[in-house]
Amino acid sequence: MSRVKSDSPTAVTDVHTGSKMQRVIYVTYLIAVLDITWMFLQFSITPYLAKKLGFDTLWIGYLQTMVGVVQLLGGPIFGRFADLFGARAAMCLSCAASVVYYGLLAIADSPLMLFIHKLPAVLMHGLPGAQMVVTDLTEPDKRADALGKLGLCFGIGMVAGSTLGGTLSTRYGGTFAACVAAGGSFISFLLVWTFIPKHTKIQAPQDNTDKKSNVKSVFDLGEITRLMKFPGVAKTFTVKIISGLPSGIFQVMFSVIAMNFFQLAPEQNGYLMAYFGIVSMVIQGGVIGRLTSKYSENSLLLLSIGMSSLVGLAQVFMANVFQFCFIVLPMMFSLSVFNVITDSMLTKTVPSSDTGTMLGLCASVQSLLRTIGPTIGGFLYHNYGVASFGFIQFVVNMVVFVFMLRNMVNSKDEHRE
């Protein structure tokens, strides 16, 4: 009887009432924290396991590229799946894939197995899944703040996962740490199944006939790419890709930079990642919400791009990890504001029935950066050193900043006329 109620249109509407809606959002935040925790725990294992198995910087780049490729392919389909069958089904699928992913990492004892364990990443989209739930349950004018709170969850997970991963891998080995991540992902699965309602969108669920007719449309590229035709989507996506590429290259190469340039041990790397998380928590939990309530999203986007350019300039002259710790402050601010604002802007430009697909496409942008980033980053690192990452970030973001500023000025002049 309870199952029938949960699938009824009345129950779907009831999800959006007061305390029940808040409970779902809070549980979603908890699930996001756990998902990010296991992800960063894994980041403390993989580079050192790869090095132990004989991988050089180039092959580590290939490994990261593979993750980017499979998630690039899976992101839009995952989002479309969530729009058709509900966020709960999509998040359960992601958690199940995470259990397999970390389980395979625990038994990886050869280069081939290390590559094979990356395959389940095609379905691992825990944070986009959480974004889908939060987007469905919040009003458009409060969406940026709500998505920023997910960024706070990201920071908490980064701190917990980096610290836990470094400690467990140092004291008990990478296999044990990977098993902990697999068990934690199973707990996340149980939380999703128990607390996330089957439907979170403010609309009546489809009947069985509709579901059968829509099964094939999960893989319909036309349905996915049509979102690019909505006003402003293509422009924002272009900015998201071009401006995000330099920082994305630096992020995917950071494990190599920490290991070779900064000469950090696994536990020290874990502490540095925890520092990232603390900074991210402060910015996304206490700063972004206040900024979005006072300034327009276009102004904040312009600010984040300009600051990212200055961060790149600072990285050019960076010589040690202590200097980098100071650069992290504006770097995390620009990244946090940029990601939250672009995601918020893009979800507002499409109907509520397509927000999952749009967030899947947003996730694919990050996957695209991880796909091409290692190849470009490996080439730059080998030939020009760490300073080249900062130089490219400075130039690219400065060009985008000038272009956007010019467009804003022109649009204001046209409005006055």
* Segment 23-46, tens digit of pLDDT: 888 899 999 999 999 988 887 777
pLDDT for the residue numbered 9? 42
Average pLDDT over residues 117-127: 87
* Phi, psi of 412, rounded to the nearest 5 degrees: -70, -40
| Residue 130 amino acid letter | A
Per-residue tokens: 383: 């030939």
Percent of the chain with pLDDT over 70: 87
Q: Reply yes or no on whether the pLDDT at 210 is more than 80.
A: no
Nearest CA-CA partner of 65 in 200, 233, 296, 248: 248
Mean pLDDT of the chain: 80
pLDDT for the residue numbered 3? 37
* Model confidence band, residue 125 (pLDDT cutoffs 50, 70, 90): confident
Q: Reply yes or no on whether the pLDDT at 204 is more than 60.
A: no
pLDDT digits (tens, 9 = 90+) for 329-343: 999 899 888 988 888
Average pLDDT over residues 254-258: 80
pLDDT for the residue numbered 18? 61
pLDDT for the residue numbered 413? 59
| Residue 412 amino acid letter | K
120 or 278, which is more confident: 120
Q: Report how far residue 17's alpha carbon sits from residue 14's, in angstroms, rounded to the nearest whole number.
A: 5
| Residue 265 contacts residue 44 (beta carbons within 8 Å) | no
Q: Reply yes or no on whether the pLDDT at 214 is more than 70.
A: no
Nearest CA-CA partner of 72 in 27, 25, 128: 128
pLDDT for the residue numbered 203? 53
- 10 Å CB burial of residue 375 (0-12, 13-18, 19+) is middle
pLDDT digits (tens, 9 = 90+) for 240-255: 888 888 888 888 788 7
| Residue 354 contacts residue 82 (beta carbons within 8 Å) | no
pLDDT for the residue numbered 415? 58
pLDDT for the residue numbered 401? 92
pLDDT for the residue numbered 222? 67
Q: What distance, in Å, lies between the first and last C-alpha atoms of the chain?
A: 62
Q: Reply yes or no on whether the pLDDT at 223 is more than 60.
A: yes
pLDDT for the residue numbered 393? 92
Nearest CA-CA partner of 370 in 241, 237, 249, 244: 249
371 or 383, which is more confident: 383
The domain 12-202+224-411 having CATH identifier 1.10.287.70: the answer here is no
30 or 356, which is more confident: 30
pLDDT for the residue numbered 16? 53
* Model confidence band, residue 13 (pLDDT cutoffs 50, 70, 90): very low
Q: Reply yes or no on whether the pLDDT at 12 is more than 60.
A: no
pLDDT digits (tens, 9 = 90+) for 380-407: 888 888 888 999 999 999 999 998 888 8
Nearest CA-CA partner of 187 in 99, 289, 284: 99
The residue behind tokens 């995952």 is 78
319 or 273, which is more confident: 319
Nearest CA-CA partner of 35 in 175, 182, 145: 182
Distances (CA, A) of 4 to 8, 25, 130, 156: 6, 23, 25, 37
| Residue 186 amino acid letter | F
